[in-house]
Chain A
Amino acid sequence: DVKVTQSSRYLVKRTGEKVFLECVQDMDHENMFWYRQDPGLGLRLIYFSYDVKMKEKGDIPEGYSVSREKKERFSLILESASTNQTSMYLCASSLFGGGIQHFGDGTRLSIL
């Protein structure tokens, strides 16, 4: 079974802080993704990566950056957290870009 593990289930941070969300997958997948889920807006793609050290902007990259130094790990960084970044963050991985994505359980992030 594919396992995608997100480092925290719940996280509370303050505005202006730099926030790191970590994601690890154990299936040697090439592609990894970061989404946020908000009520009524569905899943919105923030960034994705199709190889180590490669990254591509998704639909809403503003205020975020990512890092992929190792194949199994994909980090999402909120450079200076703001209250409008309070959301559920979901990481996913897939063998190829348009294939079945396997999701982690999500991180519920609150920015106060």
Chain B
Amino acid sequence: DQQVKQNSPSLSVQEGRISILNCDYTNSMFDYFLWYKKYPAEGPTFLISISSIKDKNEDGRFTVFLNKSAKHLSLHIVPSQPGDSAVYFCAASGDSGNTPLVFGKGTRLSVIA
């Protein structure tokens, strides 16, 4: 059973507009959430994270929002740029020990010029 779900396999957005990528989770023990970005033929790179004690974290054009009651998080990219076209993975963690991150299946974002 998937504990981290990204229900949209793909998303297309016009350059300059906002991209919103969504992620849902089922495990209420998760308390740390991350977003990764992956280009073809490269490994995923860490983008931004948020702890469950916060509901928003911002880093430049990227903002992650966390709604604990809905078990939902989203990544906002404003403004979107063609270089943002990539696969985005949501991941979650429940402890700081040895349990690995749980990843979603990814959303492919295409930013159209």
A→B interface (CB under 8 Å): 4, 9, 31, 33, 40-43, 45, 48, 50, 56, 58, 90, 92, 96-106, 108
Q: Is the CB of B99 within 8 A of A98?
A: yes
Task: Tell me which of B44, B100, B104 contacts A103 (CB under 8 A).
Answer: B44
**Which residues of B are found within 8 Å of A106, using beta-carbon distances?**
41-43
A-B contact count (CB 8 A): 65
Tell me the nearest residue of chain B to A33, going by C-beta. B100
Q: Which of B's residues lie within 8 Å of A, judged by CB?
A: 9, 32, 34, 36, 41-46, 49, 89, 93-101, 103-106
Taking a contact as CB atoms under 8 Å apart, the answer to whether A4 and B98 are in contact is no
Are the C-beta atoms of B43 and A103 separated by less than 8 Å? yes
- B98 near A43 (CB under 8 angstroms)? no
- Is B41 in contact with A98, judged by CB distance below 8 angstroms? no
Most buried by B among A4, A50, A101, A105: A101
B100's partner among A40, A90, A97, A104 (CB-CB below 8 A) is A97
**A98 lies within 8 A of B103 (CB):** no
Residues on A with C-beta less than 8 A from B100 are: 31, 33, 45, 48, 58, 97-98, 101
What is the bound-complex CA distance between A108 and B105, given in angstroms? 19
| A56–B100 alpha-carbon span in the complex (Å) | 10
User: Sorted from nearest, which 5 A-B pairs have the closest CB atoms?
Assistant: A103-B43, A98-B93, A42-B105, A97-B98, A50-B98
Q: Is the CB of A102 within 8 A of B9?
A: no
On whether the beta carbons of B104 and A42 are closer than 8 Å, the reply is: yes
A52 to chain B, nearest CB (A): 14
> Which of A92, A96, A108 has a CB less than 8 Å from the CB of B98?
A96
What's the nearest-Cβ distance from chain B to residue A5, in Å? 11
Q: Nearest chain B CB to A102's CB is how many angstroms away?
A: 7
Contact B97 A101, beta carbon cutoff 8 Å = no
CA gap between A42 and B4 in the complex, in Å:
11
